[in-house]
Structure 1
């Protein structure tokens, strides 16, 4: 098969091609509000990871969709990353996936069928790992390659974990280290070695299925996954939805070592700066913190880790669940408290 670099066709890759949070908020503010039936347990009100619709007293349907342009050149890896990223939204709600539909947009005149087939094979391999079928989908001919899934899952209504149910005094736990977006930027610049690429693929294809177990732990109040808006952006969504503020410890944040090295050298994504421009005024930033640290906090994560808000007495169980599921970098990174005079804000300390 002819070697084709998929990223040459896209202006941005992975969750880094999401619309910037500030512009997205402006667009959504103009969207008309539709019907909101009482069975709709989670809708658009708090920018949560998926919609949740109650079917009966013991079952609720979790529905989400996610797709993006290539973050890597290898078509099989692209499919795997996109599928893992899409299913993460279901796990972040505490749900169990039951099936998926494929969303495929490809420049048919530029990509041979073999390459497109490898993308689909990659996505299917992740769905097999999750134990679900790809039961259908839709495809179109477009200028840039696009792939993703509609994900459907089930959850008990009482085990839904919204991003807006965090409580003051909760501790925050992050399941995966930060820096995937920076590794993708290094890949595009041709400076990411084979070991760095393997690490990038390991993080982005690791399923967040531990969210199912986490939702069953008493004291776990809220969950979300960290994706295109970076850790700071998605935690601010938790703060706004829960009407709280957060304080994180920079020294405790798990970070990919290679990504830190690249960030120190100024190799970062353009989306990182766009993210910070959208919400930086809501962040209390230490005067002695470094620019590379800020780049990592707003770095768009593709298939990033789960962010869990839990009571202090649940911390050991949460970390134990992450460790048992293979998330060896999971760490407690801060806590939630009452909002400041400025409202729901996010602060950082260097310790």
Structure 2
């Protein structure tokens, strides 16, 4: 059997590369924000029960349902097509990404269910098993079981999780709670979509691949600790809509203007050079077309910068809005869990809901 771990491998493979079985990979598979809005506009509304504390009103990361005065259930799901050819790495990335939405609400994961769609006429049980094993490995690292799931025979390879967690209702951190004066902290560097585009075209070296795997399989474990900090007012994770898209959701949900200092935004090493070389995902352009009316770009922001701002981040970092006095505690949470590139990238201010980048 071929070695699926080598990016850009040229040897003849006994089975097709995973990425060849999908039209898009990772969070780049997401339906564009504008199209999604049109689809959801046709969905009949249903009166929300009082115990549904977070629904779909602000495009938040997960639903939250109150069980009692001390506990609320955090429920989310995420799945996508392969972003890499190594089956274990694909499983690890997809599981990390799915569990992230629980952390982004301030919750502690408790269990997961696997969602599996595989072309069984093209992939062996061993390859499919390796994908599931990678996901189970990440769940074990998060301290939760894969308690069940569902499988289907599909044309494209699809894997992900339903992730469930618990949170104190008083400690829920949605994407709609930012306050004027809050600082914005980003936990992971940008550039996953760019690196994945290079990988698919055989232009990503081993070091670049390792950097991509390191960031996409790093669980956003600071989430629950961050939610315990009184000065943390809002959280989300930056995924398929890119930094600009998810920051805009925070701005609109909070009714504030967010200002981002582009020079302070961390990038994965090599990402900018790859953008300069033309490695940009199609999802980046679709993202920008969907939310450009809500984003104001400064004169110094180039087209390459814009491509990185809208770059889809598979298993991206937490974006936190916090009181300046809580910054040391916030950074301490990130650094304690190994997020060395966490950085202050902007602030929230009074103004029309929107995003400014300079």
- TM-score, normalized by the shorter chain, greater than 0.5: yes
Tell me, in whole angstroms, the C-alpha distance in 2 between the residues paired with 1:227 and 1:241. 17
Which residue in 1 is equivalent to 2:149? 137
Q: Does 1:300 align with 2:312?
A: yes
Q: Distance in 2 between matches of 1:24 and 1:87?
A: 22
SS at 1:172's partner residue? strand
Distance 2:90 2:141 in 1: 16
Partner of residue 70 from structure 1, selected from 78, 82, 93: 82
Residue 266 of structure 1 contacts residue 292 of structure 1 at CA under 8 Å; is this kept in 2? no
Aligned to 2:18: 6
> Which whole-Å CA distance do the structure 2 matches of 1:189 and 1:339 have between them?
43
Aligned counterparts, 1:225-240, within 5 A: 225-240=237-252
| Residue 168 (structure 2) pairs with residue 159 (structure 1) | no
Q: What is residue 348 of structure 2 aligned with on the other side?
A: 336
Q: How do 1:1-351 residues align onto structure 2 when only pairs under 5 Å count?
A: 1=1, 2=14, 4-340=16-352, 344-349=353-358
Q: Cα distance, 1:286 vs. partner?
A: 1.4
Cα displacement (A) at 1:35: 3.4
Q: Which moved more, 1:93-102 or 1:315-324?
A: 315-324
Quote the offset at 1:209 in angstroms.
1.0
Alpha-carbon deviation of 1:345? 1.1
- Cα deviations by residue, 1:129-169 (Å, 9 ceiling, x for unpaired): 00100000001111000000000100000010010011111
Deviations 1:64-84 (A, max 9, x none): 000000000011000000000
- CA RMSD in angstroms, aligned pairs only: 0.8
Q: Deviations over 1:186-234 (max 9, x none)?
A: 0011010001000000000000011010000120000000000000000
User: Matches of 1:132 and 1:288 in 2, distance apart?
Assistant: 45
What CA distance in whole angstroms lies between the structure 2 residues aligned with 1:187 and 1:257? 15
**2:234 aligns to what SS in structure 1?**
strand
TM-score (norm 2): 0.96
Deviation at residue 339 of structure 1 after TM alignment: 2.2
CA distance, structure 2, for counterparts of residue 261 and residue 177 of structure 1:
15
Contact 1:43 1:51 in 2 (8 A): yes
Greater mean deviation of Cα atoms: 280-289 or 314-323: 280-289
Secondary structure at the counterpart of residue 71 of structure 1: coil
Give the paired residue count.
346
Displacement of 1:240 after TM fit?
0.6
**Distance across 1 between alignment mates of 2:151 and 2:191:** 31
Q: Distance in 2 between matches of 1:235 and 1:287?
A: 20
Q: CA deviation at 1:292?
A: 1.0
Q: Which runs of 5+ in 2 are unaligned?
A: 2-13
